[in-house]
Every structure is written in structure tokens, then in C-alpha cells.
Amino acid sequence: MEITEKNRNRIFWGLQFLGWGSINLLSVLFLGKLSNAFIIFSVVTGTLIGVGTTSLLRYYLRTRIHYDNFGLKEVLRIGLATLITSAIFGLLNLALGYIYVKFGPELNELDLEILKTYDSPWLLIINSLFLIFGWVFCYLVIKLLLKINRDRMERLELNASLKQAQLNTLKGQINPHFMFNSLNNIRGLMLEDVAKAREMLTKLSEMLRYSLSMNNVNAISLREELEMVDNYIGLSRIQLEDRLQFHKEVEKSVLDRQIPPMIVQLLVENAVKHGISALKAGGTITLTIEETSDSLRIEVRNTGSLKISNGSTQLGLKNIRQRLKLLFGNTADFKIYEREGEVVAVINIPK
């Protein structure tokens, strides 16, 4: 059964009342022949106090504790919240115990013996700490198990969607429209410049080989990726001619960095298809790759505006996000926006 937010809440409240009710019932039954009124009072009030205080504690743990970035700060917060909850738990038990003695029904000898423990606040404090710390331990263990299961399911879903996105991207690389355009352009070029046509055929074959062989590889060098980009730009220039200007600014020190394959190529392809080719006068694509203090920054800028054309599935951009999510979790960053007449796509890959 899939554990949804609604199911989790039902399970939580069920376990709350079952757990606290059982603890209070067993504790009074093991003490001996208490009066029925005292048993009912102990079980009901003990359950309500336990459920109430730990539910407030749960709300704090859910809203104030960052489990994805768990550290000493979170440990201290949990410890302090647990101590405060234990104090409230103990004080409520103490107050209700005194109220029962003063206003409740007649007590038998065993009832009075049990209630004498209320004359020892330290005993109540220790009991409260034991119960609340036990509850926090169980809560965190369950939280961890649910997170592990959720992460596993998310990873499986990401793997499945990534494989589909990779397949779709591969199809996009070798779709008939792209192939026919490239081959027709090369055929026309053969009448003008045979050597250039041969070079373009080599680029096309290298591009197809790259798409087929690198699609299931998790990482390649930036140097190899840039060769793919150059091949793609070379083929695109046959069709767009002077309408496509391409500039590349890459630090030599990052050429051997490992990156997910087709990440840069997909950004450039997106800039050509949805940017330059849509402009009558053409435009410029600028690729900048540099190393910052904590990441590898990949930026692709192209002339144009950020708009989604009709029928666009944005498979390339989805593919990028899924690859980064799968390989780097939340530590990698990808964003695309419009700035001063240009569309800017930026990827930050952690070191």
C-alpha cells in the first residue's frame, strides 16, 4: 500500500492513542487492585496528556528540523524540545494528580500509596524524560525508515523516467527530420566543396556514434562533450550559414572534469532549435564554462526570447534536470531565464 500524507496521519494518530493508552493501562494494571475510578482517571488523563504533548512535539519536529541537512544544530534543537516537552508532560501529570486527590472520589489505600509519588517531583521528572525520550527515539527511527523508503522509491522513479528521457533524447538526435536535413545539406554541399562535404559526413557519423555509445554512460570528460558540441554546431551551420554565430569560452583547467554526457550538447541544441533558427536575422550562441569556488559553472546564452513553441515537449530540458537530480540530488542547480534580449541557461555541478 502506498503511504500517502493522509495515510501517514491516520497511522500516526492510531499509534498515538494505541501506544499511550496501552502504556497507561499496563502501568496501572501491574500496580495491583486500584479502584475503578482511579484506573479510568489514570488511563484517560495519561493518554490525553501523552497524545497532546507529543503531538505538539511532532509538529515542532516536522516544521523546524531539517532532516536533509541534519547536524549538531538539529540535535540540539531536538534535545531542547524533548526536555521542554518532558517538563510539560510531568507538570500536567502533577497538576491533574493533585486535582484528583482534592476533588475526585474516595481513594482506597493503594490509590493513596500510588499518589504519594506525586510528593516526589524528581521521580515524575525522570519518568517523564524516559517516556518522552523513548517516544522521540521511536518517532525518529520511523521517520528515518520512511525517508529511506521514500528516497528509494524516488530514485527508482527517477531511474525509470531518466531511461525514458534518454530514449526520447536519443530519438530526437537521430529523428528522420534531422537526418534528412543534414544529408540533404551535405548533398548540396558536395556540388560546391567535396572536402567540406566529407568533413560534414564525418561530423554526422561522430555525432550519431556519440549519441548511441554515450547514452548509458554516467560521466565523460568535458573535452569529449565539447567535441560533440562542435560537431553539432558544424552541422547546424550548413543550414543556418551566417545566421549562426558560435563563441566558446572554456577554461583549459576544466577540460578533464567529468560531467554527465550530453548535458552541454542539449543546452546548445536547445539554443539552436528554439532560439537562433526561429530568428530571421539569426543570432549568437555563447558557451562559457568556468570553475567557481564550489562548482563547475556551465552557461549557454543565445539571442532571442524565452518562450515555449507550440508542440514543444521540452524533452531536452527535462532530460537535463532528471540527470542532475539522479546523479547529484539537490546539490546541482539548473535554471533558464531571459536577460537583456538573451536566453540564459546555467548549470552548476558541485565539485
Domain spanning 174-350 has what CATH number?
3.30.565.10
> Which amino acid, 72?
L
- At 171, is the pLDDT very low, low, confident or very high (cuts 50, 70, 90)? very low
Helix (H) or strand (E) holding 162: helix 121-173
Q: Is the pTM of this model over 0.95?
A: no
152-158, long-range: CB within 8 Å, 24+ apart, which pairs? 155/326, 158/322, 158/325, 158/326
Radius of gyration of the chain (CA): 33
pLDDT tens digits, one per residue of 66-79 = 877 778 888 899 99
| Residue 124 CB neighbours (<10 A) | 19
| Residue that is written with C-alpha cell 502506498 in the block | 2
- Report the pLDDT value the prediction gives residue 235, as an integer from 0 to 100: 82
Nearest to 347 by CA among 303, 292, 308, 305: 292
Taking the C-alpha atoms of residue 180 and residue 349, their distance in angstroms, rounded to an integer, is: 35
Which of the four pLDDT bands, split at 50, 70 and 90, describes residue 84?
Answer: very high
How distant, in Å, are the alpha carbons of 70, 79, 98, 184 from that of 84? Answer: 21, 9, 21, 76
Digit-coded pLDDT (tens) for 225-271: 898 888 888 888 877 888 889 999 998 889 999 888 878 888 888 88
Instruction: Provide, rounded to the nearest whole percent, the portion of the chain with pLDDT above 90.
Output: 17
- What residues are paired with 342 via a beta bridge? 303, 339
pLDDT band at 51 (very low <50, low <70, confident <90, very high): very high
Residue spans of the domains in the chain: they are 5-155, 174-350
